[in-house]
Amino acid sequence: MQSRFFEGHGQLFVRQRKELAEILIDFETRNQYEILGVGKELLGTIAERAAGIGGFLRRGFLRSHRGFEIRVMDREGALLLELSRGFFFLFSDLAVTGASGLPIGRVKRRFGVIYKRYDLLDADGAVFARVKSPRWRLWTFPIQSARGTGDAVVAKKWGGALREIFADADTFLVDFEEGSWSPDERAVIFAAAISIDFDFFENNQGKRGGLLRGGD
């Protein structure tokens, strides 16, 4: 099962890769990321599917509300996950599919005034975890098990030795270590990090302030 990739790591880091045109002229191309371990070793890659001129226009005009398809691969290029969603007006709904083509779960954004909320669902549509993050905690998204079996977190800011290892602003952390999660649940939690990035920080790309390109 390819989702077992996520079982072998208590913490994963996701760092955005800028293409040359983007670096030189701030021209937004499709999103690409590296998956890194705690020692900065490359574990895999994440890439948004190119969609020609139509994809360029959607990125330019629909921004964080656009639909997309994303492939998550290990460092040898083997498919781990496929993530997809359609255009949405208010609340995103990300489908998570395994390498076999079978659904693993979904990441659904929910209504919230004070809190940023998501439900994480398994393949049967049952909620196994929830994200509930106060709006004033811009960089941290706590994930709580619906069964009371522990927590996880998606975060941009962290302290200690990890701050020294991953000092650049284009990196964020997915931490599973405080919870008891199945391989598929870890895969959906990882997918939630991508959904959160697109939902809350896509419109800030190219400016200081975004999760992957922002300042402190």
Q: What is the pLDDT along the chain (216 residues), one digit of tens a residue?
A: 566 789 888 999 998 776 544 444 444 445 788 999 988 899 999 988 765 455 445 555 455 556 778 999 999 999 999 999 876 567 889 999 999 999 999 999 998 878 889 999 999 999 999 998 887 877 889 999 998 878 999 987 666 667 666 665 567 899 998 878 999 999 999 999 998 888 887 655 444 334 333 333
For the CA atoms of 135, 207, 41, 153, the dihedral, rounded to the nearest 10 degrees, stands at 0
Q: Which of 200, 110, 113 is nearest to 154 (CA)?
A: 200
Query: In angstroms, how far is the first alpha carbon of the chain from the final one?
Result: 38
Q: Return contacts of 56-62, CB within 8 angstroms, 24+ apart.
A: 59/28, 59/30, 60/28, 62/87
What domains does the chain contain, in order, with CATH numbers? 2-204 (2.40.160.200)
Query: At 69, is the secondary structure helix, strand, or coil?
Result: strand
Burial of 68 (0-12, 13-18, 19+ CB in 10 A): buried
Query: Which residue in the block uniquely carries the two structure tokens 């939902």?
Result: 199
> Residues 16, 213: contact at Cβ < 8 Å?
yes
Tallying the residues shown for the chain, one arrives at: 216
CA distance 57 to 194: 21
Could you tell me the two tokens for 141?
């998204």
